[in-house]
Structures are given as C-alpha cells and as structure tokens.
Amino acid sequence: MTDLPAYVVINNDSQSEELRSVLRTPAQKILFPLSPEDQESLEILEAKYDAEKNCAGLAAPQIGIPKQMIVFEALCSPEIKKWRPDFTQEMPKTVWVNPSYDGIGESLHEDYEGCFSVNDLAGPVKRFTKITYKATLPDGTPVSGEAEGFLARVIQHEIDHIRGILCIDKVPEGQLMSIGAYREMRAAKMAEDRNE
C-alpha cells in the first residue's frame, strides 16, 4: 500500500471545509461481518499507523474515513517510564471497531496532548484516570475491560475522535501552545527531575 491518505487537519485551511468536517462529525457505526470496503478502510488505517513514528494511536476520521475504527498501542520502555509515571498498563497494537468508554469514578488526570489532526498545537487535557471500555475486534469478537493511566488516556483520545471531539476542545481557554513550546517545557521539566 503506497498511497496512504494525508491527515485531515482541523486548522489547515488548504483542506476543504467538507473534508475537515469529518473531524467534527460523529463517525458511522460499522456492521458485521465487515464489508469489503470496511475491511479495506481498516487496512489503510493500520498501514497509516504503522508508517508513523511516535504514534500512540490513530482514528479513522483523522485520515478522512468517517467510520468507528481506531488503532493504538501502549508499550512502555524504561526511558518512557522515567517521564510517564502514569504508564501503569500496557497493550500491544490493537485495532478496535465501534469502541466506547465510560469513566470510572470522578478521578481526573491532567496531561498535555497533541494530535496529528491539529497542526502544531498542544495543551493540558483532563481525562478520566480509569475507564471501562467495550469494542469489537475486526473478526467480530467483542472485547471489554478496564484501563488506567496513560493507556486510558490514549483510548479516550482516540474514541473521542470518532465522537467528533478533538483534544483541543478540552484544553482550557488560553492554555493552547505550540508543539515547540511544549517540547521545550517538557525538556526543562525532565532536566529538573534528573537534577533532583
């Protein structure tokens, strides 16, 4: 698969308003067994994810496919653990269809998020610390469980995409920053933590 779709970016005025609207519209539920079209869409989504470096997850609307499909992975190296103490749970690369989540309790954790669908912006986003999730695997097998910490954050971020919600919608007013400014802030914090 050589011609992978470009990202749909909400603040890219060179993309049509019609194309960008896929990011703001709840995605379509998928019927089983998968149609050939839905199977192809899943393959494109997974190939786009595999082609990225440093990508925790990807939802179909991010590449212009208005369907309820996501792919994500949460694997923690010792280096990542140093600056992500909330990385308490791992999950290998996973593809879900028609996923949903609900928060467990009222505990929220704030952390900075960026996104391929939002050019050069990041900001603090509060998300549930623990969630329950339900989804279907591409072969039709239902899955459900609980997630916490960084894994829960990734799942919520990707499922929000299929709900028409972007991470910047959850950033408090006046707290959006450039990715460059965020990276500088994070590097300074990591250096400070190493010196303690």
One-character DSSP codes across 62-118: GGT--BSEEEEEE---HHHHHH-TT----EEEEEEEEEEEEE-SS-EEEEEEEETTE
H-helix or E-strand spanning residue 44: helix 36-51
73 is catalytic: no
* Residue 156 CB neighbour total at 10 angstroms: 21
The whole-angstrom separation of Cα 76 and Cα 43 is 25
How far, in Å, CA of 39 to CA of 32, rounded?
11
**33: preceding bond cis by omega (within 30 degrees):** yes
Give this prediction's pTM: 0.92
Q: How far apart are the first and last CA of the chain?
A: 48
Cβ pair 68, 162 in contact under 8 A: yes
DSSP state of 59: E
At the fourth CATH level, the homologous superfamily of domain 17-195 is Peptide deformylase (3.90.45.10)
Active-site entry in 43, 52, 73, 158: 158
pLDDT one digit per residue (tens) for the chain, 196 residues: 568 999 999 999 999 999 999 999 999 999 999 999 999 999 999 999 999 988 899 999 999 999 999 999 988 776 666 667 777 888 999 999 999 999 999 999 999 999 999 988 999 999 999 999 999 999 999 999 999 999 999 999 999 999 999 999 999 999 999 988 988 988 887 777 666 6
Rg of the chain in Å (alpha carbons): 17
